[in-house]
C-alpha cells in the first residue's frame, strides 16, 4: 500500500495479510453507508491512478473516512476491490429476474436474460475498474481470487439458465460446454472494448447474438421431450 500513515496498527496489517477477499461481504446500516463511501472513492481513485497509484491515505481523504476506520471495515485494498465488484455484479447479473423467470418456467424470459447478459458484457464502459482488475489479476493472487469468484458466480447463473431451458442438471457436460462458449464470447467482446478495438464493425454484436440464439436452439432441439 502507498502513503499509509504510521499510526495504522501493525495488527491491522497482519489481519490484512491473513484475510482472503472474495465477493459477498456482509453489510449493515451506518457501516454499510460508510463502506459504500469508501468503495465509491476507491473506484474513482483506482480508475484515475491505477491500483498501485491510489493509497489508503488518498482513499481516506476522498471518502472522508479515517484510515484507521477503513482498516476496520476493509482488511486491505483488495477487500475494497471485492466490495466494488460485489456491488457491480449484483446490478450486472440481475439474478432476481433470472430466478423469477426460472420459477415461472418462462423460456422466452430466460433467453432474454442470456441475451441481455451478453449485451451488457459487450459494453464495459460503465465499469472503469475492470481493466485494472484484469491487469492486476496476473500478478496479485488476491485480485485473481476475486476474478475467479466473480467468474464462477456468472457461470453458475448461465448454467442455471441453460438447465432451465433444457430440463437437464447444471452439471451436464453439454450444458457446461454451452456455458463456457457464452462466457468466452462475453469476455472476448469485453476485452476488445477495454482495449479500444471496438465491436461495431460488420454488425458484430448482432452476429454474436445470432450465434447465441443458434446455440440455445440447438440445446432445445437436442433435449426436446
| Chain segment 107-149, per-residue pLDDT in tens | 999 999 998 888 776 555 555 677 778 778 888 888 899 889 9
By the 8 A CB rule, do 38 and 65 touch?
yes
Hey, is 214 helix, strand or coil? helix
To the nearest whole number, what is the mean pLDDT of the chain? 81
CA distances from residue 100 to 113, 160, 175, 212 in whole angstroms, order as listed: 11, 12, 21, 22
By the 8 A CB rule, do 118 and 185 touch?
yes
Q: What is the structure's pLDDT at 222?
A: 79
Q: What is the structure's pLDDT at 8?
A: 38
Instruction: Tell me the C-alpha distance between 98 and 75, whole Å.
Output: 33
Average pLDDT of the segment spanning 179-188: 88
| Chain segment 1-22, per-residue pLDDT in tens | 444 444 433 444 444 444 456 5
pTM of the model: 0.77
Cell 438447465 belongs to: 163
Of 23-27, 104-108, 134-138, the range with the lowest mean pLDDT is 23-27
Q: What is the structure's pLDDT at 107?
A: 93
By the 8 A CB rule, do 60 and 42 touch?
no
Q: What is the structure's pLDDT at 101?
A: 96
> What is the CATH superfamily name and number for domain 22-84?
Homeodomain-like (1.10.10.60)
Q: What is the structure's pLDDT at 7?
A: 40
| Chain segment 35-47, per-residue pLDDT in tens | 999 999 999 998 8
Average pLDDT of the segment spanning 166-176: 89
Hey, is 200 helix, strand or coil? coil
By the 8 A CB rule, do 4 and 57 touch?
yes
Q: What is the structure's pLDDT at 122?
A: 55
Residue 58 pLDDT > 90, yes or no? yes
Residue 80 pLDDT > 60, yes or no? yes
By the 8 A CB rule, do 91 and 99 touch?
no
Of 13-17, 28-32, 57-61, 80-84, the range with the lowest mean pLDDT is 13-17
Domain boundaries, the chain: 22-84, 94-222
Q: What percent of the chain has pLDDT over 90?
A: 37
Q: What is the structure's pLDDT at 11?
A: 40
Q: What is the structure's pLDDT at 2?
A: 43
By C-alpha distance, which of 24, 118, 18, 13 is closest to 72? 13
By the 8 A CB rule, do 166 and 223 touch?
yes
Average pLDDT of the segment spanning 162-183: 91
Q: Is pLDDT larger for residue 194 or for residue 141?
A: 141
Cell 479500444 belongs to: 196
Amino acid at each position: 500500500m502507498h502513503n499509509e500513515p504510521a499510526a495504522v496498527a501493525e495488527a491491522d496489517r497482519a489481519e490484512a495479510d491473513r484475510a482472503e477477499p472474495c465477493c459477498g461481504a456482509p453489510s449493515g446500516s451506518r457501516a454499510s453507508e460508510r463502506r459504500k463511501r469508501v468503495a465509491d472513492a476507491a473506484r474513482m481513485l483506482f480508475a484515475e491512478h491505477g491500483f498501485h497509484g491510489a493509497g489508503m491515505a488518498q482513499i481516506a481523504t476522498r471518502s472522508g473516512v479515517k484510515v484507521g476506520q477503513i482498516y476496520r471495515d476493509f482488511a486491505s485494498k483488495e477487500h475494497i476491490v471485492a466490495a466494488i465488484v460485489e456491488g457491480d455484479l449484483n446490478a450486472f447479473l440481475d439474478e432476481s429476474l433470472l430466478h423469477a423467470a426460472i420459477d415461472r418456467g418462462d423460456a422466452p424470459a430466460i433467453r432474454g436474460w442470456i441475451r441481455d447478459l451478453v449485451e451488457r458484457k459487450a459494453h464495459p464502459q460503465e465499469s472503469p475498474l475492470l481493466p485494472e482488475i484484469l491487469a492486476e489479476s496476473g500478478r496479485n493472487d488476491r485480485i485473481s481470487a476475486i476474478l475467479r469468484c466473480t467468474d464462477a458466480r456468472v457461470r453458475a447463473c448461465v448454467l442455471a439458465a441453460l438447465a432451465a431451458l433444457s430440463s437437464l442438471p447444471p452439471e451436464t457436460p453439454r450444458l457446461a460446454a454451452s456455458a463456457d462458449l457464452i462466457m468466452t464470447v462475453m469476455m472476448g467482446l469485453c476485452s476488445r472494448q477495454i482495449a479500444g478495438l471496438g465491436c461495431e464493425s460488420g454488425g458484430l454484436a448482432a452476429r454474436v447474438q445470432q450465434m447465441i440464439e443458434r446455440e440455445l436452439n440447438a440445446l432445445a432441439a437436442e433435449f426436446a421431450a
